Amino acid sequence: MVSMNRLDNSAQAQVIRCLIDGCSIRATVRMTGISKNTVTKLLVEMGCACADYHHRNVRGVKVRRLQCDEIWSFVGAKKKNVTPEQEQAGWGDVWTWTAIDADTKLCVTYYVGDRGKHSAFSFMDDCRKRIVGHPQITTDAHKPYLKAAEAAFGGDADYAMLHKIYGASGEPETRYSPATCIGCDMKTISGVPDPKHVSTSFVERQNLTMRMSMRRFTRLTNGFSKKVDNHGHAVALYFMYYNFCRVHKTLRVTPAMEAGLADHVWTVEELAALLPEPQAKKRGPYKPRNSN
């Protein structure tokens, strides 16, 4: 089992490949021979580095069609099983809000929090700060979007809500299967959105990719996050890889290249190079031991 203060770039890339391919931390340990603490520490450092790079560089994006959605997961336990003390520690349901440019497939922004109005305001406000132009926005019928989008964009967007109508779930043994969508109801909120492009299909498909690419999001397993901070780090690493390293099949380039934020496909080694250089620890003054 390899345990060290700092892995070389190739070893870091090996761990990152495992994490972004949907492996759990323990599975990554078994495949790489690197200790669990080292893998976890690398996840934390990469999450911080990726979040910082996204925050600084994914800006000034020209978006014509923006699709927004939320995806559910949980930390520690589902909300119904969490004690008040565990809830204070961050356990319970966690929602990841995502915004996708329907043309470039770029994840413009993401937000990890609850499903309430404060998260909606923070999420939509961050969207506005990263987008230039007059976008057409489509969300589902989640009510917090209404005031959040109005506060962030005002009248500078064509905004429509898409309310999907679902039928009965069917037999009891299929309760884990999604209900059948039997219709959609479009509601114009502001501006003049084009009905042909009122859709959340791209962001929902991205959320499926997200659920398949991170063990923490896989349903009916014990791979869920145990700490909310590590959950956020995994999301930041995933979206950095999705935007800059993963070639989209329909585009044949990465979303970042299509959006003009990169000029080549990033390698995982380049992703690992975002980590800051380790700083040498300064030793304190020498103190002789007491001979008594």
* Prediction pTM value: 0.88
Radius of gyration for the alpha carbons in the chain, expressed in angstroms and rounded? 21
| Other C-beta atoms lying within 10 Å of the C-beta of residue 262 | 17
Residue range 236-247: mean pLDDT, rounded:
97
Per the prediction, the chain carries an average pLDDT of 90
pLDDT in tens, 24-48: 999 999 999 999 999 999 999 999 9
- Comparison of pLDDT for 178 and 265, the residue scoring more: 265
For the record, the structure tokens of 279 come out as 């700083």
Report the pLDDT value the prediction gives residue 176, as an integer from 0 to 100. 61
Report the pLDDT value the prediction gives residue 3, as an integer from 0 to 100. 44
**Residue 168: band (very low, low, confident or very high) from pLDDT cuts 50, 70, 90:** low
Residue range 265-273: mean pLDDT, rounded:
96
pLDDT in tens, 252-261: 999 999 999 9
pLDDT at residue 1 greater than cutoff 80: no
**Residue 180: band (very low, low, confident or very high) from pLDDT cuts 50, 70, 90:** confident
Is the distance from CB of 202 to CB of 102 less than 8 angstroms? yes
Report the pLDDT value the prediction gives residue 223, as an integer from 0 to 100. 86
- Ordered by start, the domain boundaries in the chain are 9-170+178-272
- Alpha helices in the chain, H assignment, sequence order: 9-20, 25-32, 36-57, 84-88, 117-130, 144-153, 201-213, 228-244, 255-258, 268-272
pLDDT in tens, 109-159: 999 999 999 999 999 999 999 999 999 999 999 999 999 999 999 889 999
Report the pLDDT value the prediction gives residue 271, as an integer from 0 to 100. 96
Residue range 243-264: mean pLDDT, rounded:
96
CATH architecture of the domain with range 9-170+178-272: 2-Layer Sandwich (3.30)
- Comparison of pLDDT for 98 and 169, the residue scoring more: 98
Report the pLDDT value the prediction gives residue 222, as an integer from 0 to 100. 86
